[in-house]
Amino acid sequence: MNPILNTAFKAARKAGQMMIRAGGNLDAVKVDSKAFNDFVSNVDRESEMILVDALKEAYPHHKITCEESGSHGKANAEYEWIIDPLDGTTNFLHGHPQYAISMALLHKGVLQEALVYAPERNDLYMASRGKGALLNDRRIRVSGRIELNRCLIGTGFPVVDQSMMDKYLEILKDFLSKTAGGRREGAAALDLCAVAAGRLDGFFEFNLKPWDIAAGALIVKEAGGIVTDMQGNEGWLESGNVVAGNPKVLAQMLQIIAAHQ
């Protein structure tokens, strides 16, 4: 583990331990609604504070962009962290263990380092640009499946911004008729990591935020996969519309999506 990821993991582990303690008494967790179906808790905020404080101390010249508190540091900094302190808040609030801490580091706008930590499972996904992807110190690769009818595809429902719901349901119906099945588990960072580890053959979702996908996307790429927007281009971090998978599967996924554009 390189020094940057080691610093990130120490902070993520501390935040994860706090989450597990809080999860033991969910009735005491304070919850606010940012928008319809978009929740934030005091656990999200405390996790973010732990992560931001650790990164500020270690890297005072880095910019930090977070889901809850926005940006910290110089706007034009060469290095920028993109953090989701609790991806899968709704899962966490219901005692469902599919949630994680997501941390990505960009240098001049290019993803360099990524960490996704799932506290309840003690699963640590990491990647460094050009050096491959790891799950708990073991190298991972995307699946080798090429027949779409044998593939398991992950997705996320557009429950916050439902403006694309009709189009999404048409696309989902098409996927379900042409694949081995679909899964919706409620934490995009972990869905992308599942693609990287070969547990899912592909993943697609609309209207995500940079902190939902930055770390997971680098982990997919370093595991041999491809990440694009819905048109097969590079604008996924800006648009929030993302498709990921191994090269053969991703090409077939894009064809299905294109039929509904």
Question: Annotated binding site for Mg(2+), which residues?
Answer: 67, 84, 86-87, 212
> First CA to last CA across the chain, in angstroms?
42
For residue 43 the two structure tokens come to 């656990």
For residue 123 the two structure tokens come to 């699963």
CB 63 within 8 A of CB 72: yes
Helices (H), ranges, 126-209: 165-178, 188-196
Which amino acid belongs to residue 100? Answer: A
> Within 13 Å, how many C-alpha atoms sit on residue 200's CB side?
25
Which residues sit in the known binding site?
A: 67, 84, 86-87, 212
Distance CA 79, CA 144 (A): 34
Angle between helices 210-222 and 188-196 (to 10 degrees): 10
